Structure 1
Amino acid sequence: MNETAQESLNTAVWGRIAAAGNRAARWPWWLQVGGLYVAARLVSACIFMAAALHQGVNPWFPPRPDYWNFINIWDARWYGEALSNGYPTQLPVDEAGNVKENAWAFYPLFPLLGRSLSGLTGAAPAASLTVIAMLSGLAASLVIYRLFRLKSAHRTALWGSVFFSVFPVAPVLQVPYAESLNLLLLAAALLMVMRRRYLWAIPVVLLMCLSRPTGVPFAAMAGLLLLWRLYPYLRLRFQGLPRAGGPVAEEVPHNAAELWSLTGLTAAAGLGALLWPAIAWATTGDVQAYTKTETVWRGQDLVPFKPWFDTGIQLFGPGLGLLAPFVFVAAFALLMMSRPVAALGAELRLWCICYTGYLLVFLHPQTSTFRMLLPLFPLALSAALVSRSRAYRGTVVVMFLLLQLVWVVWLWAWAQLPGGGDYPP
């Protein structure tokens, strides 16, 4: 093929791609968002299948498993245990009296829905959990797009949802983990908060609190938002100042009922955050049943902030290691003050701040930390707001997909460490 013919072929191919893109741009928004999310999950499925071909000896199945076996490992086994056998009435302990790993660390909404689906359809527990995770992830992408549309135009919101769909740890949205269900409920709650439908958000938040431990940061976010809205309301009410225009006026509640509704949401989120630990206490008779179980995986008692300094010292030595958490906090503060993040508005910025603060207080940083960053999905819209350049946005997508390869091969696939075990995803 001569050079002229090659150029004509390239022009024809790119012309067809552009024409297909123009046709897709005329689809309804939900079809665009859903189609791109499904395409992202198919890419992730290919990554899983390629990694499975190289999977060696592991604790769960023979080498080179099929796709369905490969995605049903790690915490998926614990959710399956909770679905099939429920939660223990007595905490299991070893010979020394220390609490052993058990199902109380895994919140009940996801396995409860799986049990219901298995009962209705007769499907295997693993299949039911996988279906729920996949459908929840798809629904979450649609709700997230609607959330982003409150702060941006269609194309930017669409890119933000694409960034969410291809995020480096996004493959977890199609495995039997509760992340996709939790993100669906979290995004729905945030959407209602941004629309100031606080009372409607309460049942969603309570369900969210039973899917994963996001109740504490949500309650903190709602409480800070209440204070943020209360000050200008009181100032207008008691000083008799006129309601001005501009962004400040947007933060002023329309009436006292709106403030009381937000107060109710704050209280409900706080109670919801305590609901699962209270259920564990009532069932086992041990007031620390949930906390003891949760800390088994970290191998030490819960001491706020300390694990971050311990990890910093482990990675950077005793000098720089003590400074590392402060450097991280300073960098995050600068990020929160940047123009793309400021464009998210008070609610989404407060959520990102409160959730990150929650991780700093309670999280033991490890390889699972990457997965726990998914609730910071509003930053995907900020990433799309950085530039409208197709080259920039396309590069972000490609880099995220390459990092999916890293995440699946490094953390999801099992490769025994010299000391035994493997890094968890």
Structure 2
Amino acid sequence: MSEPVAAEVRRGGTEQSSRALDVLISPRRWPWWAQLSAVYVAARLFSFFVFSGAAFKQGMNPWMQASPGYWDFITIWDGRWYQTAAEQGYPSQLPVDALGNVQENAWAFYPLFPLLGKALSGLFGVPVLASLTVIAMVAGLGAVLVIFRLFLCFASHRTAFWGAVFVAVFPVAGILQVPYAESLNLLLLAASLLAVVRKRYLSAIPFVILAALSRPTGVPFGAVVGLLLVHRLWVLFRARRRPTPDELGSLLRHGALTVVACAAALTWPALAWAKTGDPQAYTRTETVWRGTDLVPFKPWWDMAVGVLGPALGPLALGVFLAVTAWALLKAPAVRELGVELRLWCACYLGYLLAFLHPQTSTFRMLLPLFPLALATAFVSRSRAYRWTVVLMFSLLQIVWIVWLWAWAQLPGGGDYPP
């Protein structure tokens, strides 16, 4: 090789190395998935420091000595129940006390997460709680990436990115790095909604089935796809025309997804019935933690009356429902979400109102309303506004961890669960 040619080759190699270094040290030039991954890791590091600080201040508790380390601290609460489900399985008979009252047991915790934890533990020989924590962390990252792709169906790249960032720093986002099933369910739920938005109904089926086996979100999702199908049929009926072959095929696929979603929502209660012989095994177990039988909508009424009184309580509850309905139907930022995401938020809120016993765990159970993070990003394109949201969410995460994750017994007994 001649000397001029060799010099040119060296210059070319130097320029390529310089460009590669520029990309490496300039996050704005990274691919979207690398940027979001970096944000997610940074958010989890922030949560790590908050958890560590709360752990240092933790007093004596039902699980371990005071001032535990980070890894011990994040495995308390329901993490121990998922460990029990993974290591011991589910009881064939509901445990009861001397009076025949059902006691707390593993049937309240859906099986996909502990089964994956058990499989990973057996494959690599690590403790179950460690494998569950790894699954939660990885699933949380996958959820944020899929959520960004979902948000792109309704927003620009920049706004969708900020919406995904808001999910990563939610006030309850610390739950994405502890051995809880929330992050796994969030990933599967986002994938299901993305497939529905893209009208890939058959592709949604495996995600819908797995989501219904990870957390109790199957009922509201079945309602979403069912209502969307009814709306499509109503539009055809009002137009007084027959569907084209392509439309008919799409409707049949949509119908198949609806049937599967509704069946998947009933799968876990049905399995509990089959294993224990008690048709109410799942609901009887779930209601142990609330101390009362399941009566739809009644807990919210009782809570409103108990906190605010018989006059102001129902009024406040009515105002809350009216404001929520207005926001989903009329608020400009929420309307940008599209029909599917707004309908999901409405159905999930309706599900919570019907079946949830309002308590401090309610904050965590609001995580499936993640599409509202995109609505938050739609409110303003100002960088100052969006960074303020990140700051406020981060501060509220400190409040959530210190107030609810750190265990403290109440004066009258019991505690505030996260």
TM value normalised by structure 1? 0.91
CA distance in 2 between counterparts of 1:253 and 1:192 reads: 21
In the alignment, residue 408 of structure 1 is paired with which amino acid? I
Question: Which runs of 5 or more residues in structure 1 are unaligned?
Answer: 1-18, 241-251
| 1:114 alignment partner, one of 117, 122, 128 | 117
TM value normalised by structure 2? 0.92
Q: Secondary structure at the match of 2:29?
A: coil
In the alignment, residue 354 of structure 1 is paired with which amino acid? C
Report deviation, 1:407.
Answer: 0.3
CA distance in 1 between counterparts of 2:245 and 2:373 reads: 28
Report deviation, 1:334.
Answer: 1.5
Q: Secondary structure at the match of 1:419?
A: coil
Q: Which residue matches 1:346?
A: 339
Give yes or no for contact 2:40–2:141 (8 Å, CA) kept in 1: yes
Q: Secondary structure at the match of 1:64?
A: coil
Give yes or no for contact 1:229–1:253 (8 Å, CA) kept in 2: no
Q: Secondary structure at the match of 1:387?
A: coil
Q: Secondary structure at the match of 2:357?
A: coil
Report deviation, 1:213.
Answer: 0.4
| 1:52 alignment partner, one of 48, 51, 55 | 55
Taking only aligned residues, the RMSD between alpha carbons, in angstroms, comes to: 1.7
Q: Which residue matches 1:328?
A: 320
Deviations 1:80-122 (A, max 9, x none): 0000000000000001100000000000000000000011000
Report deviation, 1:23.
Answer: 2.4
Give yes or no for contact 2:236–2:242 (8 Å, CA) kept in 1: no
CA distance in 1 between counterparts of 2:296 and 2:166 reads: 32
In the alignment, residue 221 of structure 2 is paired with which amino acid? F
Q: Which residue matches 1:11?
A: none
CA distance in 2 between counterparts of 1:236 and 1:38 reads: 51
Q: Which residue matches 2:17?
A: none
The answer to whether structure 1 residue 312 and structure 2 residue 304 are counterparts is yes
Give yes or no for contact 1:309–1:324 (8 Å, CA) kept in 2: no
CA distance in 2 between counterparts of 1:119 and 1:372 reads: 30
CA distance in 1 between counterparts of 2:371 and 2:387 reads: 19
The answer to whether structure 1 residue 396 and structure 2 residue 389 are counterparts is yes
| 2:237 alignment partner, one of 234, 238, 256 | 234
Matching of residues 16-415 of structure 1 within 5 Å: 23-236=26-239, 238=241, 255-336=247-328, 337-415=330-408
CA distance in 2 between counterparts of 1:95 and 1:417 reads: 26
Deviations 1:145-181 (A, max 9, x none): 0000111111101100111011100100100000000
Q: Secondary structure at the match of 2:59?
A: coil
Q: Secondary structure at the match of 2:199?
A: coil
Report deviation, 1:339.
Answer: 0.9
Give yes or no for contact 1:209–1:272 (8 Å, CA) kept in 2: yes
In the alignment, residue 195 of structure 2 is paired with which amino acid? M
Report deviation, 1:421.
Answer: 2.2
Give yes or no for contact 1:105–1:293 (8 Å, CA) kept in 2: yes
Give yes or no for contact 2:83–2:114 (8 Å, CA) kept in 1: yes
Aligned length: 396
Give yes or no for contact 2:91–2:276 (8 Å, CA) kept in 1: yes
Give yes or no for contact 1:145–1:158 (8 Å, CA) kept in 2: yes
Q: Aligned residues: percent identity?
A: 65
Give yes or no for contact 1:253–1:259 (8 Å, CA) kept in 2: no
Question: Which runs of 5 or more residues in structure 2 are unaligned?
Answer: 1-21
The answer to whether structure 1 residue 421 and structure 2 residue 410 are counterparts is no
Give yes or no for contact 2:108–2:282 (8 Å, CA) kept in 1: yes
CA distance in 2 between counterparts of 1:229 and 1:300 reads: 40
Deviations 1:234-291 (A, max 9, x none): 3445289xxxxxxxxxxx9951111111111111111001000000000000000000
Report deviation, 1:319.
Answer: 0.8
In the alignment, residue 330 of structure 1 is paired with which amino acid? A
- Would the alpha carbon gap of residues 254 and 330 (structure 1) be closer, same or farther in structure 2, given more than 3 Å must change? farther
CA distance in 2 between counterparts of 1:284 and 1:239 reads: 48
Q: Secondary structure at the match of 1:407?
A: helix
CA distance in 2 between counterparts of 1:408 and 1:206 reads: 31
Give yes or no for contact 2:208–2:218 (8 Å, CA) kept in 1: yes
In the alignment, residue 214 of structure 1 is paired with which amino acid? T
Report deviation, 1:325.
Answer: 2.1
Report deviation, 1:34.
Answer: 1.1
